[in-house]
A = this chain, B = another copy of it.
Amino acid sequence: MAKTRNTKQRQLILDELRSTKSHPCAEWLYQRVKAKMPNISLGTVYRNLAVLKEQEIIQELPRAGSQSRYDSNPNPHYHFFCLECGRIDDIEEPYLEKVNSEITGKLTEYVVLGHFTEFYGLCPQCKKSK
């Protein structure tokens, strides 16, 4: 891992992210940090989030790539995302209702309608080539 510095900007961004439970986006953090350091730029926020993520100090909420992807099967089912080659396979396993009910039992204040799950790891091809 490359060397990094403790800049005022990076610290402010991290503090701001730690001060909230809202899982904010870059723009939101930018506005907040800007209040304390008016000429910080949005590019700096993006660059620092990337560094902090790289260092595993924070995480970016999961999404498979930057583009939307589509499935001709409209029914909920699970996918397996290969971290190596990016391919997405369907999983035959039936939708785990018990996962919903387990969480529903804990989150009585909420209405739990369902869950999205993606498994990740290595697909058969990428497993072999390791």
When the two chains form the complex, which single residue of B24, B73, B113, B123 contacts A69, counting CB atoms closer than 8 Å? B24
Q: Chain A 85-106, CB within 8 Å of chain B: the 1/0 string?
A: 0011111110010011011001
| Residue in B closest to A19 when the chains form the complex, CB atoms | B72
Contacting pair A88 B23 (CB below 8 A): yes
Q: How many copies does the complex hold?
A: 2
Contacting pair B59 A73 (CB below 8 A): yes
| Residue in B closest to A78 when the chains form the complex, CB atoms | B103
Contacting pair B87 A59 (CB below 8 A): no
CB distance from A127 to the nearest CB of B (A): 5
- Bound complex: CA A18 to CA B27 (Å): 37
Contacting pair B127 A121 (CB below 8 A): no
A68 neighbours in B (Cβ, 8 Å):
25-26, 49, 60-61, 63
Query: A73-B59, A91-B107, A99-B96 are known contacts. Are A67 and B26 too (CB-CB below 8 A)?
Result: yes
Q: Chain A 1-44, CB within 8 Å of chain B: the 1/0 string?
A: 00000000000001001100111111101000000000000000
When the two chains form the complex, which single residue of B58, B92, B111 contacts A122, counting CB atoms closer than 8 Å? B111
